[in-house]
């Protein structure tokens, strides 16, 4: 069972392709319940809390660039837009880029807006998305933080040079001061901001932990030969089960398919209700 970002998925598949994966693996990160709650909804809530606690920033009218419009980026962008920030998005994938456009965000390149924005947030799972050349151009007081992969997205090591002064302001907040007096506000030294300075709601943890537990039980109980030394998704039925276990907290009531409807749709009345690729 594997709970990690999509970049880890590539590594697992690489191992599998090379015949080096010793056991079956379930990629829990890509199960819908994990992605939507841990990545999207959790980040949508915790980005604001994290920024308030660390930078004590007012969001209305601030210009923000969110790098990466996957689940984490979508959550962060939605939260900041709702607070009245002007949000720019950067993407490499045309599909996510188009989604950003349809959601009303300005798709741009970091280099094109980096001089004007008040905040830069990385959410890509990639490395060196914000590099020294970008930070050299940022305006005084620009807040730089990461909600994606720890330690890799912002090239923090490039800031540890003799001409830049580091001023530790409080926990998770450093000011990096350029020789002309201009400073950027670096949060959590480029580590994952919300994990460093906010809390993860117990509800989200419950969903993620249930997904993980069910994946382990599935692997343990699976008959010999069902899973080979390869990477699998959590069966859709189990993903749906995780969601259904959490519905009661909203006093939510599911509609049941009639026999006629189930037959018409070609579905079992107990699910799965969607194909495995459905997001």
Ligand X SMILES: NC(=O)c1ccc[n+]([C@@H]2O[C@H](COP(=O)([O-])OP(=O)(O)OC[C@H]3O[C@@H](n4cnc5c(N)ncnc54)[C@H](O)[C@@H]3O)[C@@H](O)[C@H]2O)c1
Site residues (vs ligand X, CB under 6 A) = 5-6, 35, 38-39, 42-43, 67-73, 90-93, 96, 123-126, 129, 147-149, 192, 194-195
If the CB atoms of residues 126 and 257 are measured against ligand X, the closer one turns out to be 126
N-to-C CA span, the chain = 20
- For residues 31 and 211, the answer to whether their CB atoms sit within 8 Å is yes
If the CB atoms of residues 201 and 235 are measured against ligand X, the closer one turns out to be 201
Closest distance of CB 57 from ligand X, Å: 18
Name every residue whose Cβ is closer than 8 Å to that of residue 100 and which is 6 or more positions away in sequence: 69, 77, 89, 91, 107
If the CB atoms of residues 200 and 219 are measured against ligand X, the closer one turns out to be 200
Closest distance of CB 156 from ligand X, Å: 16
d(Cα 43, Cα 88) in Å, to the nearest integer?
Answer: 17
Closest distance of CB 248 from ligand X, Å: 25
Q: Give the residue nearest to ligand X (CB).
A: 70
If the CB atoms of residues 205 and 245 are measured against ligand X, the closer one turns out to be 205
CA gyration radius, the chain: 21
If the CB atoms of residues 141 and 201 are measured against ligand X, the closer one turns out to be 201
Nearest 5°: CA angle at 182, between 186 and 90? 50
Closest distance of CB 60 from ligand X, Å: 23
Closest distance of CB 84 from ligand X, Å: 22
């Amino acid at each position: 069972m594997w709970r990690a970002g999509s970049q880890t998925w590539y590594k697992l598949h690489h191992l599998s392709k090379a015949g080096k994966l010793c056991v079956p693996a379930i990629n829990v990160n890509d199960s819908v319940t994990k992605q939507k709650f841990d990545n999207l909804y959790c980040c949508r809530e915790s980005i604001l809390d994290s920024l308030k606690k660390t930078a004590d920033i007012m969001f209305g009218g601030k210009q923000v660039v969110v790098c990466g419009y996957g689940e984490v980026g979508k959550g962060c962008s939605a939260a900041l837009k709702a607070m009245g920030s002007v949000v720019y998005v950067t993407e490499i994938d045309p599909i996510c880029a188009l989604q950003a456009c349809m959601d009303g965000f300005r798709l741009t390149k970091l280099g094109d807006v980096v001089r004007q924005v008040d905040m830069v947030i990385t959410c890509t799972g990639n490395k060196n998305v914000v590099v020294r050349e970008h930070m050299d151009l940022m305006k005084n007081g620009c807040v730089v933080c990461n909600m994606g992969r720890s330690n890799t997205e912002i090239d923090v090591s490039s800031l540890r040079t003799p001409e830049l002064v580091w001023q530790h302001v409080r926990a998770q907040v450093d000011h990096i001061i350029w020789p002309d007096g201009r400073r950027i506000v670096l949060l959590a030294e480029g580590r994952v901001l919300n994990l460093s300075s906010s809390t993860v709601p117990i509800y989200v943890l419950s969903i993620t932990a249930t997904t993980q537990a069910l994946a382990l039980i599935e692997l343990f109980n699976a008959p010999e030969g069902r899973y080979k030394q390869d990477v699998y998704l959590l069966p859709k039925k189990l993903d749906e089960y995780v969601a259904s276990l959490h519905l009661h907290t909203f006093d939510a009531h599911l509609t049941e398919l009639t026999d006629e409807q189930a037959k018409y749709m070609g579905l079992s009345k107990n699910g799965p209700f969607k194909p495995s690729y459905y997001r």
